[in-house]
Structure 1
Amino acid sequence: MATQTSKNDTKYIPQFGAFLKAKCPRCRRGNMFANSMYNLTGQNMYQRCPHCGLTFEREPGYFYVAMYVSYAMNVAEMVTITVATIILTGSESPWLYLGLLLGSILVLAPFNLRFSRLILLYWMTPGAKYRPELSGDLPHNHEQHMHQH
């Protein structure tokens, strides 16, 4: 037996949990990415939220801004790794630092890609603010309409 939600049914979803799970910033229910962060096929991002229909790429080239966020994340990670290596090993070998930094760049690249886009959409995009009324279950006919686009 299918249940329909009334217009007044809302479901509040905490921001940080939705952010960590890569959910849509507007409804916090739909997935932004079609697959996991670490896989051999790369990360595929949906064009629209499967739940509320929000277009993630707000304009052509929108995610180029995420490169700046990713750069800031990379710098913070490299400084942290360097300081931790100095404290933990006390080594002066440039090869140790080079190996650790290059290895961490490769390992953290998928993390930086995903979370730089999430940061951009969650905290730097005015039109993608949370709307709790979209967090509940949508009526069946609305879901069909959203999947057709």
Structure 2
Amino acid sequence: MATINNTPAKPEPVLSAFIKAKCPRCRRGDIFASPTYSLSGQKMHETCSHCGLHYEREPGYWYVAMFVSYAFNVAEMVTVAVGTYILTGSNSPWLYVSLLLGIIFLLSPFNYRYSRVALLYWLTPGLNFEPWRSADKPENPQQH
């Protein structure tokens, strides 16, 4: 985001910032240091490079992301199972088991990343977007 005449550019929309895994407070800094699908695994930054937000709000904070990931898994499995039944009409349990295990395996990096991002964006009380933090040099408006 560039600034023109020291006026901050329009902040990134929430859905776009969510998809790009940007900081929920400033929508500028990256939450993750690596791509979603990487052979070296996913590395998460401890703090936002732009506004300094510490992502792990308290000890054990990321355990809640496991429940969000579980909800993602259930939604994905139900969708694949219903879609498979509609498309094939098969009653073979082996077809469903193999498809569901494959989907769980393929989407686990996605679920890991976006369960944490969803937890930060929508499930953490008191963590809100603060538009003044998206400026190139954040200045706290309460100081004036």
TM-score, normalised to structure 1, is: 0.86
Distance (whole Å) between structure 2 residues aligned to residue 52 and residue 31 of structure 1: 11
**Which residues of structure 1 form unaligned runs of 5+?**
143-149
> Which segment is superposed worse, 120-129 or 59-68?
120-129
Work out the CA distance in 1 between the residues paired with 2:47 and 2:77. Answer: 33
Task: Give the Cα separation in 1 of the matches to 2:40 and 2:66.
Answer: 21
**Which segment is superposed worse, 127-136 or 30-39?**
127-136
Sequence identity, in percent? 61
| 1:83 matched residue in structure 2 | 82
Per-residue CA deviation, residues 89-110 of structure 1 (Å, 9 max, x unaligned), is 1111111111100000000100
Select the structure with the greater relative contact order (CA < 8 A; seq sep ≥ 6): 1
In the alignment, the residues of structure 1 paired with residue 44 and residue 127 of structure 2 have an alpha-carbon distance, to the nearest angstrom, of: 16
Q: How many residues align?
A: 137
Q: Which amino acid aligns with 1:70?
A: S
Counterpart of 2:26 in structure 1 is: 27
Deviation at 1:136, TM superposition (A): 1.6
Q: CA deviation at 1:127?
A: 3.1
Change (3 A) 1:15 1:87: same
Deviations 1:52-105 (A, max 9, x none): 000000011101001111111111110000000000011111111111000000
* TM, length-normalised to structure 2: 0.88
- CA distance in structure 2 between the partners assigned to 1:5 and 1:54 by the alignment: 27
Q: Distance in 2 between matches of 1:83 and 1:70?
A: 20
CA RMSD of aligned residues (A): 2.0
Higher helix share: 1
Shift of 1:128: 2.1
Q: Which AA in structure 2 matches 1:74? A: N
Quick one: distance in 1 between partners of 2:4 and 2:11? 18
